[in-house]
């Protein structure tokens, strides 16, 4: 008897050549399928993801599903897989879902976070999960204005890499936010779906706005007119993380699926130092 199982997983994208299976290279999908097949070898296993992340892109709340026929109880799947997977992939939770449920097609939204380290000196502990932009201080207010203009259903052809198999470049941006915590700037974008390379191309333009190398008017004109040829800067993949996938009926516990990517707030360290100095006085 076949069962459909859904997992919410984390992975360090720097260890893989993206999500999707590729010949003779290490991918998240290939690694998962290999380890699941070890546990349920009766049939070929194919793992379907809510979003196909590019090479180097991380995920803290990726959702996948697969069909199996083995006897392993549902509550044992997470620990069984974590004992076999490399340290760069972790299963947070496993649940049973109906046969018609689909990790990709049942999803109502995907939410990505892009992290920028805007400090003047490098930080070893942030270098693999953020884009270090140190020459100029980013104007977050300008970036917020540019972001807000993206809300709604639009044609985002200007932010689509070549090689996409989508029939059109329309999608609905449901929510955007940008926050600065000291030297850390985080941008979050939630949409019904994302075009191939969309967030990284968008972030390249958004940072140019924040550095005042690109005006708000030019930013808007480029994407509204679909001028892909003028969008030449793409943000590096390691600053990007898929943090959440939403469904009409949530199937995972909130603490395992809502937002498990760590938040960094550098003023905390400064505050702790100031408190210590005051005590010394």
> Do 3-105 and 108-242 agree at the fold level?
yes
Would you please indicate which residues are annotated as catalytic (active-site) residues?
Answer: 54
Q: Which residues on adjacent β-strands are paired with residue 89?
A: 11
Report the pLDDT value the prediction gives residue 239, as an integer from 0 to 100.
97
| Contacts of 204-208 spanning 24+ positions with Cβ under 8 A | 204/231, 204/232, 204/233, 204/234, 204/235, 205/146, 205/159, 205/231, 205/233, 206/143, 206/146, 206/147, 207/116, 207/131, 207/133, 207/138, 207/143, 207/233, 207/235, 208/233
> Average per-residue pLDDT in the chain?
91
List the chain residues with pLDDT less than 70.
Answer: 265-281
Residue 268 φ then ψ, to 5°: -60, -40
The CATH architecture assigned to 108-242 reads 2-Layer Sandwich (3.30)
pLDDT of 276 reads 43
261 close to 60: Cβ distance less than 8 angstroms: yes
pLDDT tens by residue, 147-185:
999 999 999 999 999 877 788 899 999 999 999 999 999
Paired tokens of 24: 């003779």
Buried b (16+ CB within 10 A) or exposed e, 82-116: eeebeebbbbbbbbebeeebbbbebbebbbbbbbb
Q: Rounded distance, CA 222 to CA 232, Å?
A: 11
Structure tokens at 36: 């699941």
Q: Which CATH architecture has domain 3-105?
A: 2-Layer Sandwich (3.30)
Phi-psi region of 159 (alpha: psi -120 to 50; beta: other; left: phi over 0): alpha
Can you name the residues that pair with 110 across neighbouring β-strands? 191, 245
Domain ranges of the chain: 3-105, 108-242
Separation CA 101–CA 97 (nearest Å): 6
For the chain, what is the HEC assignment? CCEEEEEEEEECHHHCCCCCCCCCCCCHHHHHHHHHHHHCCCCCCCCEECCCCCCCCEEEEEEEEEEECCCCCHHHHHHHHHCCCCCCEEEEEEEEECCCCCCCCCEEEEEEEEEEECCCCCCCCCCCCCEECCCCCCCHHHHHHHHHCCCEEEECHHHCCCCCCCCCCEEEEEEEEEEEECCEEEEEEEECCCCCCHHHHHHHHHHHHHCCCCCHHHHHHHHHCCCHHHCCCCCCHHHEEEEEEEECCCCCCHHHHCCCCCCCCCHHHHHHHHHHHHHHC
Q: pTM for the full model?
A: 0.91
């Amino acid at each position: 008897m076949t069962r459909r199982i859904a997992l919410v997983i984390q992975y360090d994208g720097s260890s893989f050549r993206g999500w999707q299976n590729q010949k003779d290279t290490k991918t998240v999908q290939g690694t998962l399928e290999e380890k699941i097949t070890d546990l349920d070898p009766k049939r070929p296993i194919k793992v379907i993801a809510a979003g196909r992340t590019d090479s180097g892109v991380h995920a803290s709340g990726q959702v996948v599903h697969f069909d199996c026929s083995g006897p392993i109880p549902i509550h044992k799947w997470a620990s069984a897989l974590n004992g076999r997977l490399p340290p760069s992939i972790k299963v947070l939770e496993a649940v049973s879902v109906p046969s018609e449920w689909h990790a990709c097609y049942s999803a109502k939204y995907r939410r990505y976070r892009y992290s920028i380290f805007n400090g003047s000196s490098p930080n070893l502990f942030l270098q693999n999960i953020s884009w270090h932009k140190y020459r100029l201080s980013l104007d977050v207010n300008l970036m917020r204005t540019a972001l807000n203009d993206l809300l709604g259903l639009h044609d985002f052809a200007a932010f689509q890499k070549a090689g996409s198999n989508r029939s059109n470049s329309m999608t609905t941006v449901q929510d955007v936010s940008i926050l600065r915590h000291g030297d850390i700037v985080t941008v979050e974008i939630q949409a019904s779906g994302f075009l191939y390379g969309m967030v990284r191309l968008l972030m390249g333009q958004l940072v140019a706005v924040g550095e005042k190398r690109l005006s708000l008017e030019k930013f808007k004109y480029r994407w509204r007119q679909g001028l892909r040829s003028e969008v030449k800067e793409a943000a590096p993949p390691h600053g990007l993380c898929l943090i959440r996938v939403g469904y009409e009926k949530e199937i995972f516990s909130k603490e395992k699926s809502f937002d498990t990517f760590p938040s960094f707030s550098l003023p905390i360290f400064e505050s702790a130092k100031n408190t210590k100095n005051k005590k010394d006085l």
